[in-house]
Structure 1
Amino acid sequence: MHVNEAIQALLDQAIKLEMIEARDEIYARNQIMALLELDDFQKSVQPTGDTGIPDILENLADYAVGKGIISDLDSQKEILTAKLMNILIEKPSAVTGRFYEKYTADPRSATDYFYALSQNSNYIQTKNIAKNISYQYDSPYGTIDITINLSKPEKDPKQIALEREMKTASSNYPKCLLCIENEGYAGRINHPARSNHRMIEMELTGEPWYLQYSPYVYYNEHCIVLCGEHRDMKIDRSAFERLLEFVAMFPDYFLGSNADLPIVGGSILTHDHYQGGKYEFAMAKAEETGRFTLETFPEFEAMTLKWPLSVIRLRGDDRDLLAGAAEMILEKWIGYSDPEAEILANTNETRHNTITPIARMRDGKYEMDLVLRNNRTSETHTLGIFHPHEDVQHIKKENIGLIEVMGLAVLPARLETELKEIEDYLLGQKADVKDYHQVWAEELKERHAHELTPDTVKGIVRQNVGAKFVRVLEDAGVFKQTEAGLRAFQKFTETL
């Protein structure tokens, strides 16, 4: 596609998707020409077709590389393409105004508008996300989602070298990837391009918070709600209040938080934030295993769930009282020890117990899931007693955060090639596999000896990956789904 054709195709898509009006076309074209250092433009009378925005942007980035406007590094291409899209998006105040204008009519139309804008602006990396390998696994706990994350491209060695050089002279602005200062930030070698980034300001518990979508969505309408202040994550009553306040505003969405301690927390503990979206995970559909009554909050339904991690579900009508009930359970859990179940609340001055909370609306009532977490380590389990154990780390070694807790595996990109090697090994086309997969591959070969064919091998490997991930979740559960584990869980709920 010629550069003029690509520019026109981008403008046509922007008008079609109602990002700009036809009256804005000449202005937007001139701004794009300036970025691409063009001083002439011949508008084609031929229709430009229906090429998607990500492909058009790729074409324009390649043009800029060919003309020496930018270098051939992914970071430079992303900075340019984000700037190009920024020309076609309204300023944050206007986006926020449209959002709340639609919200007054229907919260659903507001989130529909903002999600579509985040995709059309190429902030949500739809083309890269499509590369992910995703499937489902029917487990004893329900249907688990499995994703091998291929959406973030591997870094060029030149890029890595430049990032290393910049570490010593790196800017501390924005402070992290979640700060409000990312909105409209051009980006640099070691910080992603955010010119095309927009957030929706809202008030939660009397504070400024912001709604955005994840650039690499793992499920439908995967959103992030972040604090306007750069401060550490903390699970306390105010966190429960914010989660419940948000789902009252957006009853189609759930909202949850990673735990606030290392090992059992998410990857970013230095900025207070939550994750949500319009998706029902397997945990939300988990069966009850027992009910009990909270002594100080008898008006709420309280139950435990058949789920690999240990979950207390609360359900009721009163939002403030529900936050109080969740706070009471958190405080009890923070101080709770059961040496027989390997649960110690503290080691010297180090706290081990915390909670991963998730809020939603169901049948007009508030629902809060409180997932009990403990981050203690031992000589046997140096990465965590309630963390993926060594025999499953060849599949998943990273922290088990909110998304995994609810039943969606986000597995490393290395598995794309490694699982193919295992398939070849099982069919006798390869002599060995990676050392850390070898024992498992031999187990699969023996267990499925009479089923392995070129047509079945991929499905067999994928199903066994799903089973391994369930084991990952079971390792993370503080009270196991065994007779002894359920008895220990009941011992805790009786303290409530």
Structure 2
Amino acid sequence: MNKTNLVDKFVTQVIAESDFTELDRIYLYNRVLALVGDAAMTAESESTNLLDLKNELVALAQQNGKCARNNSAQDILGAELMSLILPAPSIVNQRFWQSYETSPTAAISSFYHMSKTSDYIKTRAIAKNIYFIAKSNYGDLEITINLSKPEKDPKEIAAAKDAVASDYPKCQLCMENEGYQGRLNYPARSNHRIIRFSLGQEEWGFQYSPYAYFNEHCIFLSSKHEKMKIDVQTFSNLLTIVDKFPGYFVGSNADLPIVGGSILTHEHYQGGRHQFPMEKAPLIHKFRFAGFPDVEAGIVKWPMSVIRLRSSNSMLLVELAGKILAKWQNYSDEQVSIRAFSNNTQHHTITPIARMHDNEYELDLVLRDNQTSEEYPDGIFHPHPDVQHIKRENIGLIEVMGLAILPPRLVGEMTEVKKFLLKRPNQISKIHLEWASAIKEKHNITAENVNQVLQEELGLVFERVLEDTGVFKQTAAGKAAFMRFIAEVGLA
């Protein structure tokens, strides 16, 4: 073995992180050469980190014509190289469930480690995200500017238009992604593994999110490519998952446009090991529902409209949540512009989140309404036009819980806003001018405090975004209307 040769060093790391042994060294060396080209035989490296070595191999392959010079080809080759450390899906599943019998936590931790080591979870890209805490009237909010996903190369976008259309896999949440090589307009998944498990009477999968927004951000997905839906089975599924995956919360995006997530075509949930701001929020009004004396209930102090249920009996929570959903789907209150239907179109659904709290099941039910109007064509309970210069996208599960996912465009735009606030030459966008002018009037801006002020003000915008999406507003009239709905469900 040449201790400075790039391929040899990569193979050494593969052996250290996989089931391969020294007996497999020649085989692995040749497999790497087949992927990156014979020029790698003379390439040397000072790196010892597996991801650094992988990146050097991809760069070398691009130099010698074995890999096209675009992001998609780079990702495809990188995933193929990293897949060398992974066992077959059947072995991954066998080991997971064998370990699970002894320690569910250890099994989950091992799968998470494997997903990071294989570069399926893009830890280096995720580290580029901007993150900070902002104070609000509802407790601390979490703000991120998402910089992890690579921007599309214009040439790739143009080439993708001419690529042969394919409906395989049907979407990025289908089981068929496991091991899929990828293509110009579809992500590489050679290094992807999914844990199978039963949920109700169906097969589901457990995997991690490649571009995680929080600690151990994972996805639970149906084996069937079917549209998302919120029903009684959803509540049962979520509470079963928090049993199966200790320490994790799990929630579902709503199943209607405007208030739903970015993928409504495949039934799935999101979870992980993270305590969101909404979970920390207290109850401002406690009560019991008729027929459910063993379920604690209350309204959460939160800008959105949240009913929290807690009990040691998960079946009671499922039954009560089903009753609340059925009432909400058909509930209207014209006094506060809440309408269940218009022209036979359903407007009401729920964003549910489940977790364990002090050894009891806890279920948060966030009431959603996707109406539009002439004044608010994007959605009455959607970020209103005056805050869309910061956030115009749908407010999905993660943001409902108090973690803002702001677009990468804001990095450059906020740089110009800072210059404006400091009275320096700038190219501030017109969409930010009114907001920035108000900030300048409100604060004594200096070079030392401009970053802190801007973070505080972004937090206030996110607070407003959440208030816009709340169906019962934080006013006397809104709170009274919320209690009218609670009474309609049936108080004890």
Instruction: Report deviation, 1:378.
Output: 0.7
Which residue is equivalent to 1:6? Answer: 6
1:109-258 alignment, distance < 5 Å: 109-166=106-163, 169-258=164-253
TM-score (normalised: structure 1): 0.95
Q: Is the Cα–Cα contact under 8 Å of residues 353 and 375 in structure 1 kept in the other structure? A: yes
Cα distance in 2 for residues equivalent to 1:180 and 1:432 = 46
Which residue is equivalent to 1:60? Answer: 57
- How many equivalent residue pairs? 488
Which residue is equivalent to 2:331? Answer: 336
Instruction: Report deviation, 1:55.
Output: 2.5
Moved more, 484-493 or 404-413: 484-493
Cα distance in 2 for residues equivalent to 1:341 and 1:97 = 54
What do residues 210-257 of structure 1 show as CA deviations (whole Å, max 9, x unaligned)?
000000000000000000000000000111111111101112000000
Cα distance in 2 for residues equivalent to 1:301 and 1:290 = 11
Cα distance in 2 for residues equivalent to 1:420 and 1:220 = 28
Identity of aligned residues (%): 49
Q: Is the Cα–Cα contact under 8 Å of residues 295 and 316 in structure 2 kept in the other structure? A: no
Aligned partner of 1:108 among 95, 105, 119: 105
SS at match of 2:404: strand
SS at match of 1:54: helix
1:472 matched to 2:469: no
Q: Is the Cα–Cα contact under 8 Å of residues 257 and 273 in structure 1 kept in the other structure? A: yes
Aligned partner of 1:381 among 354, 366, 376: 376
Q: Is the Cα–Cα contact under 8 Å of residues 58 and 77 in structure 2 kept in the other structure? A: yes
Q: Is the Cα–Cα contact under 8 Å of residues 116 and 123 in structure 2 kept in the other structure? A: yes
SS at match of 1:155: coil
Q: Which amino acid aligns with 2:159?
A: L
**Unaligned 5+ residue runs, structure 2?**
none
Q: Is the Cα–Cα contact under 8 Å of residues 7 and 41 in structure 2 kept in the other structure? A: no
Q: Which amino acid aligns with 1:8?
A: D
What do residues 273-302 of structure 1 show as CA deviations (whole Å, max 9, x unaligned)?
000000000001111011121113222111
Q: Which amino acid aligns with 1:94?
A: I
Aligned partner of 1:363 among 353, 358, 364: 358
Structure 1 residues 72 and 432, CA, compared in 2 at 3 Å: closer, same or farther? closer
Aligned partner of 2:484 among 483, 491, 494: 491
TM-score (normalised: structure 2): 0.96
Instruction: Report deviation, 1:48.
Output: 5.4
Structure 1 residues 170 and 162, CA, compared in 2 at 3 Å: closer, same or farther? same
Cα distance in 2 for residues equivalent to 1:283 and 1:104 = 33
**Unaligned 5+ residue runs, structure 1?**
none
Cα distance in 2 for residues equivalent to 1:41 and 1:7 = 7
Structure 1 residues 41 and 66, CA, compared in 2 at 3 Å: closer, same or farther? closer
SS at match of 1:495: helix
Q: Is the Cα–Cα contact under 8 Å of residues 99 and 111 in structure 1 kept in the other structure? A: yes
Aligned partner of 1:93 among 70, 90, 93: 90
Q: Which amino acid aligns with 1:36?
A: V
Q: Which amino acid aligns with 1:179?
A: C
Cα distance in 2 for residues equivalent to 1:479 and 1:253 = 29
Aligned partner of 1:411 among 386, 406, 409: 406
Q: Which amino acid aligns with 1:37?
A: G
Q: Is the Cα–Cα contact under 8 Å of residues 11 and 29 in structure 1 kept in the other structure? A: yes
Q: Is the Cα–Cα contact under 8 Å of residues 416 and 426 in structure 2 kept in the other structure? A: no
Q: CA RMSD in A?
A: 1.8
SS at match of 2:25: helix
Q: Which amino acid aligns with 1:316?
A: S
Q: Which amino acid aligns with 1:133?
A: I
Structure 1 residues 264 and 40, CA, compared in 2 at 3 Å: closer, same or farther? closer
What do residues 137-187 of structure 1 show as CA deviations (whole Å, max 9, x unaligned)?
122212211110011111111101011222xx3111000000000000000
SS at match of 2:10: helix
Structure 1 residues 20 and 467, CA, compared in 2 at 3 Å: closer, same or farther? farther
Structure 1 residues 12 and 139, CA, compared in 2 at 3 Å: closer, same or farther? farther
SS at match of 2:293: coil
1:432-451 alignment, distance < 5 Å: 432-448=427-443, 450=444
Instruction: Report deviation, 1:42.
Output: 7.0
Q: Is the Cα–Cα contact under 8 Å of residues 134 and 141 in structure 2 kept in the other structure? A: yes
Cα distance in 1 for residues equivalent to 2:300 and 2:402 = 13
Q: Is the Cα–Cα contact under 8 Å of residues 242 and 356 in structure 2 kept in the other structure? A: yes
Which residue is equivalent to 1:30? Answer: 30
SS at match of 1:423: helix
Cα distance in 2 for residues equivalent to 1:56 and 1:456 = 41
Q: Is the Cα–Cα contact under 8 Å of residues 251 and 360 in structure 1 kept in the other structure? A: no
Cα distance in 2 for residues equivalent to 1:344 and 1:3 = 70
Instruction: Report deviation, 1:20.
Output: 4.2
1:414-425 alignment, distance < 5 Å: 414-425=409-420
Q: Which amino acid aligns with 2:437?
A: E
Instruction: Report deviation, 1:265.
Output: 0.1
Cα distance in 2 for residues equivalent to 1:270 and 1:179 = 10
